[in-house]
Every structure is written in structure tokens, then in C-alpha cells.
Structure 1
Amino acid sequence: MKKFEHNSPRALLETLQPGQVCKGVVSSVADFGVFVDLGGAVGIVDVPNLSWRRFDHPSQVAHKGQEVVATVLSVDLEREQASLSIKELQQDPFIDFARSRFGSTTSGPVIKIAPIGAFIQLEDEWVGLLPISELGGSGRTVGVGDTLNVKITYINMANRQVALSLSSASTNSD
């Protein structure tokens, strides 16, 4: 079987199709994403397409020299680059969270107070909102750092939202 040789980055890009899986090597990391060498052509993975997990900088997800497998999102022949997604080939951990935690009771610290309610840090990186209506009826105030016992009552997959209700009358301050 003869190996197809690409004479130019453009020739390589012309063979790529949206939805196609490809391999490449991270050539550099920037604040907005990573550049991937696809064998002479440039692929770019922007921040939203790097990972399902939260991170502060793309260097927490990928590093120069790392081999990556990605899905082609689009090809721009004028700019001679492909838009890629690493995230698309990863399992969304929010699915497992929703499947296993909906309706369950847990506890977590209040990480932020807002006019709409208190944001509670749940396991891993998930955050849920305890609506202000839940707090108003309890006759108590809560502060950042207080640990609350809550029930996961609503999960919206499309918006990645978790709503909570108070599951007991106890609040623990640290």
C-alpha cells in the first residue's frame, strides 16, 4: 500500500473533513488554546474545545510535544489551518454526575452568595445553586465557607445547571 505524501499544508488540509478524527503533536500553547502540528498543516484547538473539565489555562490540559487525537471541526483553506476539538472525543463527566447524583443528598461549602441564592461546591468541580427562596424560608443567614446539607433536585444538561434544596436544618460554619 502506497503512503500518500502531501506536498504542502494546503494539500493535507484538502484531505481533512469535518467530523474526521486525526492525530497531531502540540506545537505551542497560548492563552486562547493550543496549536497542533498535523504533519505540516496547522490545527487549532480553542479553549472551549480542549476539555469538559474546568481549567485556568490551556497549559493545564496540553503541553508542547504532547500527541493528541482530535476531531476536525472545520477547515479554512485561505488561512491554511483546521479547527479541532479534543473535548469531542472525551466522555462528558457531567453525564455521569447527572446519572448518579440526581435526587441524592450531599453537603458542601458555600462558595458564593448572590442575589439569586447561594452557590454550593459539590464533588469535583460541580457547583449547584440553592435558590434564595430556600434560604428565606429557613430563617437563617448563610455565609461563604458555611457547609450546607442539600438535595440535588434539578439538573439541566443543556445549560449545565444544578439546582439544590435544603435537606436538613443544620448549617456548619468553619
Structure 2
Amino acid sequence: MEPAERVDAENLPAAVVQLLIRRDLTVATAESLTAGLLAATLADVPGASGTLQGGVVAYQNHVKERLLGVDPALLARAGAVDAEVARQMAEGARRVTGADVGISTTGVAGPEAHQGKPVGTVYVGLAGMPGHAEPEAVLLHLKGDREAIRRDTVRRGLQMMQARLTGWT
């Protein structure tokens, strides 16, 4: 797949799984906002067992702290919807599963704002991506109801992974 090549949303999960397998990389998820939807989307792809190590649904902060190692002082200061929290969640997913790559989701799906953050505020974190020494997080401002925001978060996270993997040689 060439770096500029993109696939439609329906084929995106399969494209990401194939890129990971081709690059001999494993992946794990750490999900708050999406509550396992990202891992399930990857697992729906035939052959996903060749890359998907597992996932942690960390809906509550104490789970983010205990299972993923997110800094409790950071959570107390910034709340769960934060770029650094997303980065630490992604890194925690790698650590607890032994995966090469971690991807995380945290945000506000609604119906109301949370901790002063409006509905649709989402961070996707990536850790362990080839060519990216440090974990990263991207802020998204999404529209729609809970279901649309959660689905769009998964799509955008997979697009991020695809972009990083196709840009890596």
C-alpha cells in the first residue's frame, strides 16, 4: 500500500490489520470513550489474531491508574479527557500486553459535557509507532450523538494508525 493510498471506512480495519501484520507489529488498545469498540473492530477482521494482543476497557479513572499506570496526579489535575492521559493510556496498553503499538481513546461522547469538556472532545493516543520515538495524542472535535462520536473515534484512530504505518518505510 502506497503512503498516499487511503481506503474507505468499511475496509479501513482490514487495511490496518494487514499493515500491522506486514510490518510484523502487534497492537493493543486502551479504551475509555469507546469501551472496547476499537478492539472489537480490529478483532472483526479475519486474521486479526496475527496482530491484536488484547485491550483494556478503562472507563473509570481508578482503572486507568491501576491497570494502565496513568499518573493519578495527572488525572486529578487534568481529568481523563487530556492529551497526556491518552499518551499514558496508549503506553500502558503496550506495557500490560507486551504489544509493539498501543492505541487509546478518551473523550466525551455525551449527552452532556464532562469535567468542563464539551461533547465531542476526544483524544486518540498512539505509542510505539515506528518512526515516532515518543507517544503522541491527537485532539478531535467530533459531532453527533454518543454512537456517532464513538464510531467516528474508532474510524479516526484507525486512520491515524494507517497514516503512520504507510508513512513508515
Q: TM-score, normalised by structure 2?
A: 0.22
Relative to the length of structure 1, the TM-score reads 0.22
Report which of the two structures shows the higher radius of gyration computed on alpha carbons: 1
User: Structure 1 or 2: larger helix share?
Assistant: 2
More RCO (CA 8 Å, sep 6+): 2
